[in-house]
């Protein structure tokens, strides 16, 4: 068996990884970022790329480096209960709580909303989301090669349309960049960093990582070193493509504000920019592509989440989970895209730091021989400080703790106050192992 992957295999896996991360739902975030950042668009875009592109690919590498078969096994290094709870919360987040409803909302906002009156929006949003998730559910109950084929056709079609839009925007911008809005004037990078959380790709990476590693193994890479090297090359290719696309979308948002005004969300920006350059026909083409792309994403999420939950609680059938998740997602989708995004921010502000720390500890695992107190100490303090930040940002009572940390803890005001506690927690956990508590090494 050959150990080294050919460049053709590497490129194929890189594009596969790109297709896994490049969901139509993520199209709406960079334009909104660009609109808010204005002249600071590139600084904000850099922060967005770190968490929206770099971090997900690091999480893929972490799965490969760990040698574990799935996220639950990896997270169980902290504690078996944590492994089940964190994995379940992650699946629910990238499934029925946020990502699945978002596919329906984005499909409605880009495909139908531009052609509707404001009075008819609520009832048509209900009708569209019910039909959307009914079709998604039926397809997830009867998986077919047709979905794979359509998905492979839609990604190139969407990329081609975005390429044409990018050429038009760069060749003839709609207007000059405007002054940054609110916090983007002084904290553009940190705001962009946190906006990258909204893609949810770092969370999904712990699921997708297994698919990528299996694909690499199937093509002949046997040793862990070869697997990681092939994974690195594939992730760099995927990161380059994603980075270019997100950067162009950020610029589209930044350059359109002067001509189109401030829009409610990224979907509105894309449809109006598309209409400005290509007319109504362009908006219809974009809407059709995004509708089908969102549908294939929803089918994939329904299938993966239902499979996981059925494996976790076999007493409930896969079919029951698929129907239940679809009904629940349809209900949430009727809150609208902007509401869904705002609701998801607090949850992701807690889950993302945990994902980052888990990935870092995975790479450092051999240094402390995987001793459990290191994992527990680091992740516990990460969770606590992230939770305090979320509660404080929501103007709920923290009895002075939030205000004190804003003044005394570095990076807290920027939303990264968990970084130092994470390091301190790991160090305290390591010191605890020196007393003999939790000193047993883990694989």
Last residue of a domain, one of 367, 389, 420: 367
Domain boundary among 316, 333, 367: 367
Asked if 399 and 355 sit in the same domain, the reply is no
* Whole-number Å distance between alpha carbons of 187 and 415: 11
Query: What sections of 40-178 are H helices per DSSP?
Result: 41-49, 55-66, 71-75, 80-92, 99-111, 121-141, 145-171
**What is the per-residue pLDDT for 147?**
56
What local confidence, expressed as pLDDT, does residue 145 receive? 58
Tell me, yes or no, whether 438 and 348 share the same domain. no
Select from 314, 344, 367 the last residue of a domain. Answer: 367
Residues 165 and 142 in one domain: yes
Give me the domain span that covers residue 233. Answer: 7-367
Residue 5 has what DSSP assignment?
A: P
- What CATH code is carried by the domain that includes residue 71? 1.20.1740.10
Distances (CA, A) of 345 to 53, 202, 288, 341, 392: 18, 14, 28, 6, 13
Q: Please write the tens of the pLDDT for every residue from 421-439.
A: 999 999 999 999 988 876 7
- The conformational region for residue 399 under phi > 0 = left, psi -120 to 50 = alpha, else beta, is left
pLDDT, residue 280, reads 86
Residues 6+ apart with CB under 8 A from 138: none
My answer on whether 122 and 266 are in the same domain is yes
DSSP string, 150-163: HHHHHHHHHHHHHH
Residue 397 counted as domain residue: yes
Residue-wise pLDDT for 144-168, tens only, equals: 555 565 566 777 887 888 888 889 9
Q: Which residues of the chain have pLDDT under 70?
A: 1-4, 24, 143-152, 222, 438, 441, 443
Q: Are residues 416 and 323 in the same domain?
A: no
Q: What is the pLDDT of residue 312?
A: 94
Total number of domains in the chain? 2
The first and second tokens of residue 185, run together, are 């004037």
Cα–Cα distance between 169 and 257 in angstroms, integer? 13
């Amino acid at each position: 068996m050959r150990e080294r992957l050919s460049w053709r295999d590497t490129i194929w896996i890189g594009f596969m990884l790109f297709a896994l991360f490049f969901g139509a739902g993520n199209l709406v975030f960079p334009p909104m970022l660009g609109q808010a950042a204005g002249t600071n668009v590139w600084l904000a875009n850099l922060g967005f790329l770190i968490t929206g592109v770099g971090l997900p690919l690091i999480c893929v590498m972490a799965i490969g480096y760990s040698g574990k078969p799935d996220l639950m096994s990896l997270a169980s290094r902290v504690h078996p209960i944590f492994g089940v709870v964190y994995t379940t919360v992650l699946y629910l987040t990238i499934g029925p709580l946020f990502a699945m409803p978002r596919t329906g909302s984005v499909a409605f906002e880009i495909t139908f909303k531009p052609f509707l009156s404001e009075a008819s929006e609520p009832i048509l949003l209900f009708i569209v989301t019910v039909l959307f998730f009914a079709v998604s559910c039926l397809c997830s109950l009867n998986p077919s090669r047709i979905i794979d084929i359509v998905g492979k056709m839609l990604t190139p079609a969407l990329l081609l349309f975005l390429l044409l839009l990018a050429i038009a925007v760069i060749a003839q911008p709609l207007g000059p960049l405007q002054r940054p809005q609110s916090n983007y004037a002084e904290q553009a990078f940190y705001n962009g960093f946190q906006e990258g959380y909204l893609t949810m790709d770092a969370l999904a990476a712990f699921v997708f990582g297994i698919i990528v590693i299996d694909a690499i193994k199937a093509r002949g890479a046997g040793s862990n070193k070869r697997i990681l090297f092939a994974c690195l090359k594939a992730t760099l290719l995927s990161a380059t493509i994603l980075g270019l696309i997100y950067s162009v979308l950020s610029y589209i948002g930044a350059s359109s504000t002067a001509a189109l005004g401030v829009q409610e969300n990224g979907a509105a920006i894309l449809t109006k920019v598309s209409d400005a350059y290509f007319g109504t026909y362009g908006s219809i083409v974009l809407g059709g592509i995004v509708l089908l792309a969102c549908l294939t994403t929803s089918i994939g999420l329904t299938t993966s989440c239902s499979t996981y939950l059925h494996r976790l609680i076999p007493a409930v059938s896969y079919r029951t989970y698929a129907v239940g998740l679809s009904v629940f997602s349809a209900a949430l989708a009727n809150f609208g895209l902007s509401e869904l995004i705002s609701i998801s921010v607090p949850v992701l502000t807690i889950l993302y730091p945990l994902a980052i720390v888990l990935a870092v500890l995975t790479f450092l695992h051999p240094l402390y021989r995987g001793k459990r107190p290191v994992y527990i100490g680091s992740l516990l303090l990460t969770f606590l400080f992230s939770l305090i930040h979320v509660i404080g940002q929501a103007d709920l009572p923290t009895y002075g703790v939030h205000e004190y940390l804003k003044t005394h803890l570095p990076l807290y005001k920027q939303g990264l106050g968990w970084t130092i506690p994470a390091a301190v927690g790991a160090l305290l956990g390591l010191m605890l192992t020196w007393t003999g508590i939790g000193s047993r090494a883990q694989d």
